[in-house]
C-alpha cells in the first residue's frame, strides 16, 4: 500500500519520522508544512520534491520561496495556507503532526476533502473531538491515530466486532522524569530536568506535558473521543518501561496489548498502511533483553495536571478546550523561564475557574474557549 501524503508539521519530531517512514516505504510526499524552520524545510523539499511547501510564518515563506526557486515546488505562507496543504488534491492522506489547537482547522479541512487523517495532533480531539469525529463520520473519513497509545488500542481493536465487546481501554504512561517525586520536590525541578524524558525523544511541548502528566490527561480525553467511550471505561496504568504501549480489556476478560520498542515510526507507518502491514525501518523489541514489565496506578494528587484533565474529561463541554488552551499558554511560559513547573497546574486550574462552562460548544465556542483560557493565564500571571 503506497500513500500520497501531506505532512503538516514536517520539521517536528513526528514530521521528521514520518518522512523517514515515507523514504523507507516508498510513500510519495506531496506537501509539507513548517512553522519557520526554513533550513530543514529546504532540505526536506529537495529530498522529497513535494508539490507544495507551506510556512506558517510569512517571512519564513518569503525566504523559502527564494531558496526553492529552482525546484518547481510551490511555496505558500500564513496559517491559512496550512489548509491548502491539508486539501491538496494529489494527497490521499494528511499526517497532522503540528502541535496545539492550530491543527484543528486544517484537520477539519482535510476531513471535508475526504482525506485519511493520520492523527498526530491530540489537541484537536481534546478541544473539539465530538465535532471532528461527527464530521469524519459524516464524510466517511478514517481517522487513524499516530499517538503510540492510541495506535496500540487501535491495533488491539482490529478484529473486534464493536464497542459492545470492549470493557475498558488501559492507557499506559511512562510516568515521566519526575515519577515518585513529592509536591515539594516538584516545586524545585528545573526546565532542563523537565526536558529530559526517560524513554521517548519528543518535541519540547509534549516533553513538558509528559513531565506534568498533562500529556496522559490529554490522551485520556483523546481516547474517549476517538473510541467513543465514557471515562468510566478508560484507565491509566503507569508502566515505567514503555514497552506495552496500551491495552484493551474485552467483555470476556481477555486483555490484548501491543508491545514494542519506543519507536514512533511503527505507529506512524501503521497509520499510513492500515489495514495492511508492510516491512518498515523499525527495530523490533527483543523480548529476551527487555526489562520486567511493571504497572502501577498514577498519582493524580501530586501530578495535579492529570487530576485536572480527568475532571475535565468527566465534565466535557468546553472545559477540555479551556484545559488545553491554558496548558498550551502555561507550558510556553514555562519554556520561556517565566514560571515554575508547579505553576503550570495552578494556572490551568485558575483558567478553568474563570472561563464560563458551556455544555454543547460549536466550533466558534471551542475557539473562543481556547482564547479565553489563554487570556486567563496571562491575567493570572499578572
Applying CB under 5 A, which residues contact Mg ion?
147-149
- Helix 304-315 / helix 204-212 crossing angle, nearest 10 deg: 90
- Minimum CB separation from Mg ion for residue 209, in Å? 9
User: Least Å distance between CB 245 and Mg ion?
Assistant: 8
How much is the CA Rg of the chain, to the nearest whole Å? Answer: 20
Instruction: Kindly tell me which of 149 and 263 has the beta carbon lying closer to Mg ion.
Output: 149
- The residue among 67 and 265 lying less far from Mg ion, judged by its C-beta, is 265
Of 42 and 147, the one with the shorter C-beta distance to Mg ion is 147
Of 41 and 120, CB closest to Mg ion = 120
Nearer of residues 88 and 214 to Mg ion, judged by Cβ: 214
Burial pattern 86-109, b for ≥16 Cβ within 10 A else e, equals bbbeebbbbbbbbbbbbbbbbbbb
Q: Quick one: 200 or 250, whose CB is closer to Mg ion?
A: 200
Residue 233 CA, chain-centre distance (Å), reads 21
Q: Please report how close the Cβ of residue 260 comes to Mg ion at its closest, in angstroms.
A: 13
Inter-residue contact 95 to 5 (CB < 8 Å): yes
355 neighbors 322 (Cβ within 8 angstroms): yes
The CB-of-274 to Mg ion minimum distance in angstroms stands at 18
Distance in Å, CB of 9 to Mg ion, minimum: 16
Q: Which residue, among 113, 71, 93, has the nearest Cα to 25 in the 3D structure?
A: 93
CA distance 370 to 333: 16
Strands 166-173 and 74-77 come out as unpaired
Closer Cβ to Mg ion, 30 or 147, answer by number: 147
By Cβ distance, which residue is nearest to Mg ion?
Answer: 147
- Distances in Å between the alpha carbon of 169 and those of 118, 218, 352? 20, 15, 27
CB of 48 to Mg ion, least distance (A): 26
Distance of closest approach, residue 90 Cβ to Mg ion, in angstroms: 30
Residues sharing a CB contact under 8 Å with residue 18, sequence separation 6 or more, in sequence order: 5, 7, 10, 95, 97, 118, 120, 268
Amino acid at each position: 500500500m503506497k500513500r500520497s501524503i501531506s505532512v503538516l508539521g514536517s520539521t517536528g519530531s513526528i514530521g521528521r519520522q514520518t518522512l523517514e517512514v515515507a523514504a523507507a516505504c516508498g510513500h510519495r510526499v506531496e506537501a509539507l508544512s513548517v512553522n519557520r524552520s526554513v533550513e530543514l524545510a529546504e532540505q526536506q523539499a529537495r529530498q522529497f520534491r513535494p508539490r507544495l511547501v507551506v510556512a506558517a510564518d510569512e517571512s519564513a515563506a518569503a525566504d523559502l520561496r527564494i531558496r526553492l526557486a529552482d525546484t518547481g515546488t510551490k511555496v505558500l505562507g500564513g496559517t491559512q495556507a496550512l489548509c491548502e496543504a491539508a486539501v491538496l488534491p494529489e494527497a490521499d492522506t494528511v499526517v497532522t503532526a503540528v502541535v496545539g489547537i492550530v491543527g484543528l482547522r486544517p484537520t477539519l479541512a482535510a476531513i471535508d476533502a475526504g482525506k485519511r487523517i493520520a492523527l498526530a495532533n491530540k489537541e484537536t480531539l481534546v478541544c473539539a473531538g465530538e465535532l471532528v469525529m461527527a464530521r469524519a463520520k459524516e464524510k466517511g473519513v478514517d481517522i487513524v491515530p499516530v499517538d503510540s497509545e492510541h495506535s496500540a488500542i487501535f491495533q488491539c481493536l482490529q478484529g473486534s466486532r464493536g464497542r459492545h465487546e470492549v470493557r475498558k481501554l488501559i492507557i499506559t504512561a511512562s510516568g515521566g522524569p519526575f515519577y515518585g517525586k513529592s509536591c515539594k520536590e516538584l516545586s524545585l525541578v528545573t526546565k532542563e530536568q523537565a526536558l529530559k524524558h526517560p524513554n521517548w525523544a519528543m518535541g519540547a511541548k509534549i516533553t513538558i506535558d509528559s513531565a506534568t502528566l498533562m500529556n496522559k490527561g490529554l490522551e485520556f480525553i483523546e481516547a474517549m473521543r476517538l473510541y467513543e467511550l465514557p471515562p468510566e471505561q478508560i484507565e491509566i496504568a503507569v508502566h515505567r518501561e514503555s514497552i506495552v504501549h496500551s491495552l484493551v480489556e474485552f467483555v470476556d476478560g481477555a486483555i490484548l496489548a501491543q508491545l514494542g520498542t519506543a519507536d514512533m515510526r511503527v505507529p506512524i507507518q501503521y497509520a499510513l498502511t492500515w489495514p495492511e502491514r508492510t516491512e518498515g525501518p523499525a527495530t523490533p523489541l527483543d523480548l529476551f533483553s527487555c526489562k520486567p514489565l511493571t504497572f502501577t496506578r498514577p498519582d493524580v494528587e501530586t501530578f495535579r495536571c492529570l487530576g485536572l484533565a480527568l475532571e475535565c474529561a468527566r465534565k466535557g463541554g468546553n472545559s477540555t478546550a479551556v484545559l488545553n488552551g491554558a496548558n498550551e499558554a502555561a507550558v510556553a511560559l514555562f519554556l520561556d523561564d517565566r514560571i515554575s513547573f508547579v505553576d503550570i497546574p495552578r494556572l490551568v486550574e485558575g483558567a478553568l475557574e474563570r472561563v464560563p462552562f458551556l455544555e454543547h460548544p460549536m466550533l466558534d465556542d471551542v475557539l473562543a474557549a481556547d482564547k479565553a483560557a489563554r487570556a486567563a493565564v496571562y491575567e493570572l500571571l499578572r
